[in-house]
Homo-oligomer: A and B are copies of this chain.
């Protein structure tokens, strides 16, 4: 049935600090796409956009950050994508809102996309569309593009003071976006005093790195970390870009005094040279950029350096999904038809002497699951998440809520939740992602999860009429909401399994190819 569309020369027009913007309205939802929130020169900190006269159009998504390598189309059943034109000049954000009354003061959710710190965009996944979240949650949804990979995170600081924070330029863009929100969001019906940042994978890492970024203190008030921790992904401790930048200069035939040339050479050349030299350096154990670095701007991993005073006050929801990356590999055909012996043989082949104990723990932890699912269990994300939760829960000045998403999807004879698979549920976009359609199951689960996320954004407590009560974690007591066909809260339910699993699991590199980490 037709909806009501409005985009005229008089509405919807919203005043921002720099000038007027026109978006459009579809039924009750206003959309403003491709709003420039900052400008930046390569390797430099972002600056405010220049004011303009008249009305600027905000109805097309803005450029996304260029990538190091072109994406390859694959896996669209699991994670449907949207690609978009790329340019370094990529500081754009999108807004969906139910009101443009400055007194409306609706809660704000700011989506930080995944793709490590190297790939992705605010619209990369079909599931990132903010219309349903805004409409059914009555909230303001913002999603942002920012600089990625060497554009966002190449540390040139050893080569001159002007590059002081180039190793965090991408995160600095996010801070600029959060400042833009503080300055302007009231006119889009939002409450600048109720900002929740949320993100998945790299987006989850963006949440906790921003928690540890003093310049972002006060710019957001809650955080949701979805599958957002991998040990070692963001460098721990002090590192710098000396080796990688030397290698770049050398490969380009530039002297060490010519580092400024990196500011102007075409990005495709810079990316090509980086791809050529970085792999060898990484294998040798050198820092090669493409993730934030610890300095005055970003003070370091809270699990290592401790939570900042500000971070201690931030209510957090944090969780992972059952099978994360292992689910992207080939599945097991007709798993329901395998005998116990056949399954145990597969498991023993992988885990050898640890199999018996792992099987026992798995059966205890996931009594409803097929035992072959053990072969797809994630601990790469879950183990550091357990650690994060434990450490955050020591600071009872703000709550920490834990979840695990363990739904089995009707794909390939039953595939348990892969990396990104919870996103359509969170955004209430399962209608846009075919594989999420499970009659009698997915509609309710979507409502349960969506309500919890919205409730958390509204008042810091995840709840839903359709969910059991969800307590915050306490020291030594992780209360985890299991999102599945039946949702329930369990306590420290998988710690023993994950501890053993993460100690015996073959290395991450041997399970998935490196590029898979970009999701």
Residues of A within 8 A of B (CB): 1-9, 24, 26, 33-34, 59-63, 70-77, 82-87, 268, 331, 333-334, 410-413, 430, 434-443
Is A73 a contact partner of B59 (Cβ separation < 8 A)?
Answer: no
Is B60 a contact partner of A5 (Cβ separation < 8 A)?
Answer: no
Contacts of A1 in B (CB 8 A): 443
- Of the candidates B3, B77, B440, the one whose C-beta lies within 8 Å of that of A2 is B440
CB distance from A302 to the nearest CB of B (A): 36
Contacts of A71 in B (CB 8 A): 85
List the number of copies, as a whole number.
2
Contacts of A412 in B (CB 8 A): 7-9
Contacts of A5 in B (CB 8 A): 410-411, 434-438
A62 to B331, CA, bound (A): 23
Q: Which residue of B lies closest to A31 (CB)?
A: B434
CB distance from A128 to the nearest CB of B (A): 14
Q: Which residue of B lies closest to A6 (CB)?
A: B410
Contacts of A26 in B (CB 8 A): 434, 437
A437 to B72, CA, bound (A): 34
Q: Which residue of B lies closest to A75 (CB)?
A: B60
Is A9 a contact partner of B61 (Cβ separation < 8 A)?
Answer: no
Is A82 a contact partner of B82 (Cβ separation < 8 A)?
Answer: yes
Is A70 a contact partner of B85 (Cβ separation < 8 A)?
Answer: yes
A264 to B147, CA, bound (A): 33
Enumerate the 9 nearest inter-chain pairs by beta-carbon distance, A residue then B residue, closest first: A60-B76, A3-B437, A83-B83, A26-B434, A59-B77, A5-B437, A2-B437, A9-B333, A60-B73
Q: Which residue of B lies closest to A25 (CB)?
A: B434
A170 to B171, CA, bound (A): 44
- Of the candidates B4, B76, B435, the one whose C-beta lies within 8 Å of that of A437 is B4
CB distance from A193 to the nearest CB of B (A): 31
Is A2 a contact partner of B410 (Cβ separation < 8 A)?
Answer: no
**17 extra interface residue pairs, beta carbon distance < 8 Å, beyond A2-B443, A59-B76:** A2-B438, A2-B441, A3-B434, A5-B411, A5-B437, A7-B77, A7-B411, A7-B412, A7-B435, A9-B333, A24-B77, A26-B434, A60-B74, A70-B87, A72-B85, A82-B83, A83-B84
Contacts of A34 in B (CB 8 A): 73
A70 to B73, CA, bound (A): 18
Q: Which residue of B lies closest to A331 (CB)?
A: B9
Q: Which residue of B lies closest to A434 (CB)?
A: B26
Q: Which residue of B lies closest to A34 (CB)?
A: B73
Contacts of A82 in B (CB 8 A): 82-83
Is B413 a contact partner of A9 (Cβ separation < 8 A)?
Answer: yes
Can you list 14 A-B contacts with CB-CB less than 8 angstroms, sorted by A residue number? A2-B430, A2-B441, A5-B434, A5-B435, A5-B437, A7-B412, A24-B435, A33-B76, A59-B76, A60-B73, A60-B76, A62-B73, A70-B87, A73-B85
- Of the candidates B63, B76, B333, B411, the one whose C-beta lies within 8 Å of that of A73 is B63
Is B24 a contact partner of A434 (Cβ separation < 8 A)?
Answer: yes
Known A-B contacts A59-B76, A435-B7; A2 and B85 likewise in contact (beta carbons under 8 Å): no
Contacts of A331 in B (CB 8 A): 9
Contacts of A4 in B (CB 8 A): 437, 439
